[in-house]
A and B are shown apart, each in its own frame.
Chain A
Amino acid sequence: MSKTVLQVEDLHTSFYTRSGEVKAVDGVSFHVDEKEIFGLVGESACGKTVTGLSLLRLLPEPSGNIVKGRIILNGRDILGLSKKEMRNVRGKEISMILQDPMTSLNPVYTIGNQLAESIKLHQGLADDKINDEVISALRLLKIPAPESRLRDYPFQMSGGMRQRVVGAIAMSCRPNLLIADEPTTALDATIQAQYIALFQDIQKTTDVAIIFITHDFGVVAKMCHRVGVMYAGKIVETATTSKIFKDPRHPYTVALINSVPRLDRKDERLFSIEGQPPSLLNLPPGCRFAARCDHVMDKCREEQPPEIDVGDGHLVSCWKVK
């Protein structure tokens, strides 16, 4: 029974704009254990990136606000921490990798410098020890000949290599939780495959829990142990990866998986979902997916469905399942 690193309970995050309150995350709950890769899947504006930012309390100010919920990391609710305390948590207990490695790295500092900065901040080591830590962080991310790369600048490295450096910085202080926001989206297919294999190796050598935010089902299938499917600010289905692909229950999950073309067979016609997600400024009273659902009932439009456990921790928010 692994230890639970992160427990998110009923998280609500909104953006205060002149047009009103945008409810980007509207009641999200999930947990991630040690050594587990949890995938947060969904399309744009579903709230997955905002969830990730909320966990780090890195929402844009003053518009971004967490309005409800608890985020329990390593046993304590980080929403109650002061700004200073939170700064210590970031990097040391939680870390994040963003999508574009070019903008995640400062172009005017060498990568050795940037790695050292992160380590210095969190581990308070003596200067001579820092160098060793930097090299071991680079080694963890399988960057060849790390000693010679310390003085390289980001522009001297390829996209895949840069993404590894970003990963090295994120892992340099051995955080308990790593949030990766679409780190493979900008990478080529074969480089992506390398990167995924690398992630899996890191998983074996450390205890880190990973939240992998993506829209790419191929990556989810290869990497994640469990998956949460998000739609319009809520998680509609949570299950093991195998169950999500072989036994999806929520109509949105089913439709989404069917709309992805497969390489292992010839599809005659792809399923496509009509319409668009609801506006987050003006959410409908009932189930968010009701307007586009093939199995919609009257109840769906009036009341939001509860989360139902259909067995073994497979959770579905759908009236039809009840």
Chain B
Amino acid sequence: MAEVILEGKNLTKHYPVTKGLLQRTIGWVRAIDGISFTIEQGKTLSLVGESGAGKTTTARMILLLEKLTSGTILFEGEDLSTFSASEIKSKYRPNVQSVQQNPWSSMNPRMRVRDIVGEPLAVNTKMTKQQIRSRVEEILDQVGLRADHANLYPHEFSGGQRQRIAVARALALSPNLVVLDEPVSALDVSIRAQIMNLLKDLQDQHNLSYLVIAHNLATVRYMSHSVAIMYLGEIVEYGEAEELFLNPLHPYTKALISASILTLPEDETDEIQQIILSGEMPSPLNPPPGCRFHTRCSEASAQCSEIVPEMRQVKANHQVKCHHHV
């Protein structure tokens, strides 16, 4: 039984919308509503969705950059809300690190690579300067950079190299879990492969867990063990990656796969048919009643606009939130 490193239970985050001089709350942006998932040690969970789905909000909650409206985060089985501030600093932060999407803005342009990668160590451990230096060299080597790169500034590197530096920084404290927010979408196509291969290798070497936020399904399939498809603040389908891609159940998942799959028009069969959704994702200020996807779903029936579907376990490794495909 694999160890669960992080579990999210019914995570909810609503942002207030205020108006007027006295800042009255006139509504709520329901960024995420009741998200539940587990991440196992050494495995990758990907949160997939389009913009507005709530994936970045979820990442920010996990990284404690903002407070949840409700719900629980369990780290190694313990409820995070019971952690004191110093416990967060000593037990949580060193173990949960992050790599961001934009390799150009995620690093202080005025700091040398050596200091960027070494900062987590300088701040969280009692290592001496010399010790930090050798640790930095060690990790730079692991991500495919050289020791002499440590003296340079970020702008002297290419996008792919910068992302490697970001990964090195994330690994400095030997974390258990790394949250990666679109780690390769800002990079060139051929560089993406380099970074994805690197991430997979590091995962094998260090038994790392990854929470990957992505919108590119092919990337997700390559990297993930389990996948959660998000739409308008909810998880609509959740399960083991291969099972989900071979057997997509939710209409939104099917549409997403259809939009992402690389097929030449001449190869299109009746099976691989283009599913083109109408309309756009509604605003999280005012999600549609019942199933949030029903406004764009070609299979929607009467109950879809009235009753919110439950997340149902279809197989041991596959859950879906839909009235029809159960």
Contacts and interface: CB of A to CB of B under 8 A. Distances in A.
A262 interface: yes
Secondary structure at the B interface, as helix, strand, loop or mixed, is helix
A122 interface: no
Contacts of A161: 280
B263 interface: yes
Contacts of B194: 272-273
Nearest to B50: A188
Interface in B183-221: 188-194, 196-197, 215-219, 221
Interface in A240-283: 241-242, 245, 255-256, 259-264, 266-267, 269-273, 276
B259 interface: yes
A153 interface: no
B258 interface: yes
A218 B217 CA distance: 12
A222 B196 CA distance: 25
A263 B215 contact: no
A50 to B, nearest CB: 16
A231 B2 CA distance: 46
A263 B245 contact: yes
Q: Which of A256, A263, A264, A270 gathers the greatest number of chain B CB atoms within 10 Å? A: A263
A192 interface: yes
A189 B158 contact: no
A113 B51 CA distance: 29
A258 B194 CA distance: 12
A188 B50 CA distance: 6
Contacts of B275: 193
Contacts of A262: 218, 221, 262
Contacts of A194: 276-278
B188 A270 contact: no
B265 interface: yes
Interface residues of B, number: 40
B317 to A, nearest CB: 15
A206 interface: no
Q: Which of A264, A266, A269, A276 gathers the greatest number of chain B CB atoms within 10 Å? A: A264
A217 interface: yes
A261 B219 contact: yes
A45 to B, nearest CB: 9
Interface residue range, chain A: 35 or more
Nearest to B222: A261
B266 interface: yes
B260 interface: yes
B316 interface: no
A197 B190 contact: no
Interface string B220-248: 01100000000000000000001001000
Nearest to B246: A266
B65 interface: no
A190 B193 contact: no
A43 B276 contact: no
B180 interface: no
A192 B260 CA distance: 9
Contacts of B158: 276
B261 interface: yes
A272 B245 CA distance: 24
Given A255-B190, A259-B193, A261-B219, 5 more contacts: A188-B50, A193-B259, A261-B193, A262-B221, A270-B222
Interface of B: 50-51, 158, 188-194, 196-197, 215-219, 221-222, 242, 245, 255-266, 274-278, 280-281
8 contacts: A44-B188, A189-B215, A189-B256, A193-B258, A242-B266, A260-B218, A261-B196, A261-B218
Interface of A: 43-44, 158, 160-161, 188-194, 197, 215, 217-218, 221-222, 241-242, 245, 255-256, 259-264, 266-267, 269-273, 276
